[in-house]
Chains A and B, each alone.
Chain A
């Protein structure tokens, strides 16, 4: 569950949100729309506790997000943004490295599962051997998504994740996430495909207004 209570936030001398409130229940969906620069990315980053609101509160699963619980609450969420930067090295080394993080030691790295996901996302198992730097934007995007799926988080924050992909891939990814029925999805996107799903939608305006 994610809730915003009366959140006010200014960023880089501009007021982005003024008294913004919203609630997404567990397993719920929310689509955020708005022009570029309206603060969609900032909103998602605020949910992850990457920047605290000036006023109001962010509540994740009943807990108010603050300094002493932000690191734990982040682990309930998965975040993928547009134009991902992952770094360099082999794709499989990247997957393995994430599984070596102390917080992820409880989850086993299963190669079969990774290959199945690569297949699902039309990448093919040879991607494992490729260098991250040789992947196209769209491929990198999908690798980033697969990584979050492997961690099996409860809440997915997807920031324009389909914008760099062609139409069949867009549809494939939208379908994939729509079928994850028990997951909470918060999506920011311009893509028609997401808007056609009939998810509850919030529109963020230029002057901190929201509808």
Chain B
């Protein structure tokens, strides 16, 4: 199959032309999105172009250390973004969440590259940077859901937590129901999404590979493997980020610290 033809700048501008529809709607219905839409679309374009330039060099040099370093930088951004989108304090949460991403995504990335794909060089850019990016990008949302759900539930259902403690639960036992519910909330959307894949949605990686000229059969196999890898990576990342943060979120009397939340 032949690779996708390049898109000229002029034709890319046509893609921006599509924005007229949401912009018009936003303007006339006063959705209050006009400014935000410009900023978001602008950022997306800028970031992707920068990423494109970076990828050119990462692929050209293809230095294992550099590739891994870049994934770590992405983890840093993922972590930062997870924090911004939750109401939790950076000081308490940044490091543990980062560590959770590092372990969760790192392990699955290694597994994917070594066991599933088994390239000669498992630290090659097209695997580490591209697959790593997919794993991270997709665990991000779930981590935000999971960690916010957990701490907000403990705060909102404080009576339930204290009641369990008073019933003789140790801290882990009293937190277990909250942990369970947070994991459910974080995993549920992806599980639902998996069930409709291929019918309702054609996933991004597959679309990309096929446009890039890959054989549909290979593209599908990659897609199946990446979906399973993403799901496992997000499960580990969510569970670990709750586990790691939980260790320092409570005082020695077992009470949730008020300083965990940003105002």
Contacts and interface: CB of A to CB of B under 8 A. Distances in A.
Nearest to A89: B177
Nearest to A77: B166
A24 interface: no
Given A51-B253, A52-B253, A67-B253, A86 B160 contact: yes
A103 B168 contact: yes
A98 interface: yes
Nearest to A67: B252
Interface string B236-257: 0000000000000000111100
B163 A144 contact: yes
Contacts of B168: 74-75, 98, 101, 103-104, 151
A86 B163 contact: yes
Contacts of B158: 85
- Most B Cβ at <10 Å: residue of A71, A144, A151: A71
A147 B167 contact: yes
B159 A81 contact: yes
A32 to B, nearest CB: 17
Interface in B165-212: 165-170, 173, 177
A186 interface: no
Contact of B255 (A50, A74, A147): A50
Interface string A72-88: 00110111110111110
A2 interface: no
B162 interface: yes
Nearest to A52: B253
B153 to A, nearest CB: 10
Contact of A87 (B162, B166, B177): B177
B157 interface: yes
Contacts of B252: 67
A51 to B, nearest CB: 7
Contacts of A51: 253, 255
- Most chain A CB within 10 A, of B160, B164, B167, B254, is at B167
Contacts of A103: 168-170
A104 to B, nearest CB: 5
A85 B160 contact: yes
A206 interface: no
B43 to A, nearest CB: 40
B159 A85 contact: yes
Given A51-B253, A67-B253, A85 B163 contact: yes
Contacts of A83: 159
A81 to B, nearest CB: 6
Interface string A137-164: 0000000100110010000000000000
Nearest to B157: A85
A78 B160 CA distance: 14
Given A51-B253, A51-B255, A67-B252, A101 B163 contact: no
A48 B158 CA distance: 14
Interface of A: 45, 48-52, 67, 70-71, 74-75, 77-81, 83-87, 98, 101-104, 144, 147-148, 151
Given A101-B168, A148-B167, 9 more contacts: A50-B162, A50-B255, A67-B252, A75-B168, A79-B166, A85-B163, A98-B164, A102-B173, A151-B168
11 contacts: A48-B166, A50-B254, A74-B166, A75-B168, A79-B166, A81-B159, A85-B157, A85-B163, A101-B169, A101-B170, A102-B170
